Structure 1
Amino acid sequence: MLIPDPKTLMSEAAFRFVNESHKLLIGDRWLDAQSGATVDVIDPGTGRVIAKVPAADSADVDLAVAAAREAFDNGPWSRMTASARGKLIWQFADLIEANARSLAEVESLDTGRALYECQIVDVPGSVEMLRYMAGWASKINGETMNVAMPCDFHTYTVREAVGVVAIIVPWNYPLELAVWRMAPALAAGCTIILKPAEQTPLNAIRLGQLAQECGFPPGVINVVTGYGETAGAALSAHMDVDAISFTGSTETGRLIVKAAAGNMKRVFLELGGKSPAIVFADADLTAAIPGVAGSIFFSAGQVCTAGSRLLVHASIFDRVVAGVAEIAATMTLGHGLAAGTQLGPLVSSDQMDRVSGYLDAGRRDGVTIVTGGHRVGTEGYYMQPTVITNTSAQMSIYREEVFGPVLCAVPFDDDDMDRVAAMANDTVYGLHASIWTQNLRLAHMMARKVKAGNVCINTHNFFDPAFPMGGYKQSGWGRASGFQAIEHYTEVKGVVAKL
């Protein structure tokens, strides 16, 4: 596989940004880490260092939190009208849209994902979320109620911003997930410290630049780059952070919950998944087969909602598996910025080792690899899209989140919905699921039985700013979109007056 020089594939704006001297945004200042330490940013498509960013630690976090606290307690942000705040958020969306090409290129270079994905998902998804939440800014209301107590009382509630919010986002969708967590917090009136994953920090810094250009008051949006075990841990435990939003692994989520207990800060978590795609005998296979393939191979399977467990009625099992395997075997692997790339590399050497380790364990356990299963080349972190059969519920590759382009296919020959649902629910996770059938009664009855925060019928990986996104069980707490996200970043205050 020929890997091009990414420098020749970027626009001038993206190239210029990547090659800047990158710093932390704290208040209205761009600063190096006080220690002077930096983190190498690596292009997953080549394995080469493309930039360096500051490696913040607790001292830098203290400065960022102090800036956010000052902006919330005493700055113009808290005195701004809700409509003015919404207008500023809308202008932020406009500025992101105006820089769509370079943002998509930086996202592709940073994550390894195919450029077309970043162009059709990440940038427009970010813009639409900001515009949706901008509209909510002026519609966050309390309510009045009738109480049972005797005498005359006037009782009502108000919703107030929770305060300073730390937002820690993962490396798979660093731009879009940052915006999706920022937008409701900003609409509610909170101030933010954004901490991107150390593997993919570039567009977080670019968001900070655009926020300044847009005119957000100093301290409303701060950006702190660095490692999870230092900067992330310091934010999670900080006594002056009022809420934390974390997207990532369930293991790290547990650590954040423990750290947040110090001041009982509010915690929102979107964690891991092992999502089932359930294909019934009557499914339209012209839609189900490419739908299932897209659910696991989009973004090289590095998606928390990826349909990594395929449950198929035995009567069509071979047809579905063969169809998905054919799609997998014909996908074009390549550098994310290269024309024609359908599947980019995994994000890092560590992720390559993780996915390869699960595949090795699967081989030892006796799985059948229908297609794929191997690394491609030695430059960059490319993994073949893989389809596996002959798995069991006890195998790690079937039970645990691989977070790679690996699909485990299992047949079922039982038309009893309870038993099929039991197969789908046999996981500690409960983030996403899809049901493929032309029987509307079956579809909606199964949707009731599947224990997941989102259940899709005849589609998978559905996201929209108005559609609540979040998980059951060990897939997390709270919802990331819809008005439910606004609720997460507000406190409800009850007020009573005796008349």
Structure 2
Amino acid sequence: MQATQPVHRDLYIDGKWTQSKKGSRLDVICPTTEEVVGSIPEGTAPDVEEAISAAVRTFQGPWSKSRGSERARFLRAIAQQMRARRDELAALETLDMGKPICEAVLDIDDGANIFDFYADLAEKLDSKQWSSVDIGPENAQDFSTNMRYEPLGVVAMITPWNYPIVQAVWKVAPAIAAGCTMVLKPSELASLTCLELAGIAQEVGLPPGVLNIVTGLGHDAGAALSSSPRVAK
């Protein structure tokens, strides 16, 4: 598959598209033709720290206290947009990492279904909040126990090249459902559909700082993300 025009994308941090602080870019090479079909920013540790700061600020705001039903609306809206743009996203996936277009289409459908799946779970969280826990009749006279579900915090996500959008969605969707914020570093070999996912999140109004995406190399951006003490998981 050949691109009609080069595909160039930026980092997505705090709801905004931005260049990397280093200013350099990585070529996107189509495995089928070995042609350069675009570029992505070479994010480094300072970009990761900026993304984590955005995620921390958003987590400390209203997002982490939002109802599951509110978060479910965003999840369903993202799923809807993925289905509406299925052919475009599948073509981009094939261009970026070389899998057959028929498989790429299935991956986009799978990704949309995952968002819907976690939307259902997010809605169920509301009814489970403060639910009573059976502690046995011998303790019921003196104690009562209730369960409260809380988001963990900032989540780090580092995903591989072979199922770019699906691997990302399996992490992004549950994090949104739980009320976490996140920083995603997709593989430098296949980042384009993950960056498109950020664009979809922006289109549906997902609050800035919930989803942040930093492209770059593992020994720099990946290492900074995986070693940050501000990351909860």
Q: What range is the shorter-chain TM-score in? A: over 0.9
| Cα-to-partner distance string for 1:23-56 (whole Å, 9 max, x where unaligned) | 1000022111101121111100111211111111
| Cα-to-partner distance string for 1:65-103 (whole Å, 9 max, x where unaligned) | 0001111111x3223221111111101100111110000
Q: CA deviation at 1:21?
A: 3.5
Q: CA deviation at 1:174?
A: 0.2
Q: Distance in 1 between matches of 2:115 and 2:109?
A: 10
> Equivalent residue for 1:28?
15
Assess if the C-alpha contact under 8 Å between 1:55 and 1:225 holds in 2.
yes
- Describe the shift of the 1:229–1:143 C-alpha distance in structure 2 as closer, same or farther (beyond 3 A): farther
- Unpaired segments of 5 or more residues in structure 2? none
Q: CA deviation at 1:179?
A: 0.8
> Equivalent residue for 1:117?
103
> Equivalent residue for 1:77?
63
Q: Distance in 2 between matches of 1:151 and 1:52?
A: 65
Match of 2:133 among 144, 151, 160: 144
Q: Distance in 2 between matches of 1:207 and 1:45?
A: 23
1:101 maps onto 2:91 in alignment: no
The structure with more strand, counted as a fraction of residues? 1
Amino acid at match of 1:83: S
Amino acid at match of 2:99: R
> Equivalent residue for 2:75?
89
Assess if the C-alpha contact under 8 Å between 1:82 and 1:137 holds in 2.
yes
SS of the equivalent of 1:154 reads: coil
> Equivalent residue for 2:117?
132
Assess if the C-alpha contact under 8 Å between 1:167 and 1:192 holds in 2.
yes
SS of the equivalent of 2:115 reads: helix
Assess if the C-alpha contact under 8 Å between 1:196 and 1:204 holds in 2.
yes
| Cα-to-partner distance string for 1:428-473 (whole Å, 9 max, x where unaligned) | xxxxxxxxxxxxxxxxxxxxxxxxxxxxxxxxxxxxxxxxxxxxxx
Q: CA deviation at 1:214?
A: 0.8
Q: Distance in 2 between matches of 1:151 and 1:143?
A: 14
* Larger RCO of the pair (alpha carbons < 8 Å, separation 6+): 2
| Cα-to-partner distance string for 1:228-283 (whole Å, 9 max, x where unaligned) | 1111111100011101xxxxxxxxxxxxxxxxxxxxxxxxxxxxxxxxxxxxxxxx
SS of the equivalent of 1:153 reads: coil
> Equivalent residue for 1:214?
204
Assess if the C-alpha contact under 8 Å between 1:61 and 1:231 holds in 2.
yes
> Equivalent residue for 2:54?
67
Normalising by structure 2, what TM-score? 0.93
> Equivalent residue for 2:187?
197
Residue pairs, 1:291-302, within 5 angstroms? none
Residue pairs, 1:40-439, within 5 angstroms? 40-74=27-61, 76-119=62-105, 121-140=106-125, 141=128, 142-146=131-135, 148=138, 152-243=142-233
Assess if the C-alpha contact under 8 Å between 1:143 and 1:158 holds in 2.
no
Q: Distance in 1 between matches of 2:170 and 2:145?
A: 34
The structure with more helix, counted as a fraction of residues? 2
Amino acid at match of 1:84: E
SS of the equivalent of 1:40 reads: strand
Assess if the C-alpha contact under 8 Å between 2:7 and 2:37 holds in 1.
no
Assess if the C-alpha contact under 8 Å between 1:90 and 1:131 holds in 2.
yes
Q: CA deviation at 1:185?
A: 1.2
SS of the equivalent of 1:192 reads: strand
Aligned-pair RMSD on alpha carbons? 1.6
Task: Give the number of equivalent residue pairs.
Answer: 228
Amino acid at match of 1:223: I
Amino acid at match of 1:201: S
Amino acid at match of 1:79: K
Assess if the C-alpha contact under 8 Å between 1:90 and 1:134 holds in 2.
yes
- Unpaired segments of 5 or more residues in structure 1? 8-14, 244-499
- Describe the shift of the 1:118–1:21 C-alpha distance in structure 2 as closer, same or farther (beyond 3 A): closer
List structure 1 runs of 4+ shifted beyond 6 angstroms. none
| Cα-to-partner distance string for 1:408-445 (whole Å, 9 max, x where unaligned) | xxxxxxxxxxxxxxxxxxxxxxxxxxxxxxxxxxxxxx
Normalising by structure 1, what TM-score? 0.44
Assess if the C-alpha contact under 8 Å between 1:161 and 1:190 holds in 2.
yes
Q: CA deviation at 1:6?
A: 1.2
SS of the equivalent of 1:161 reads: coil
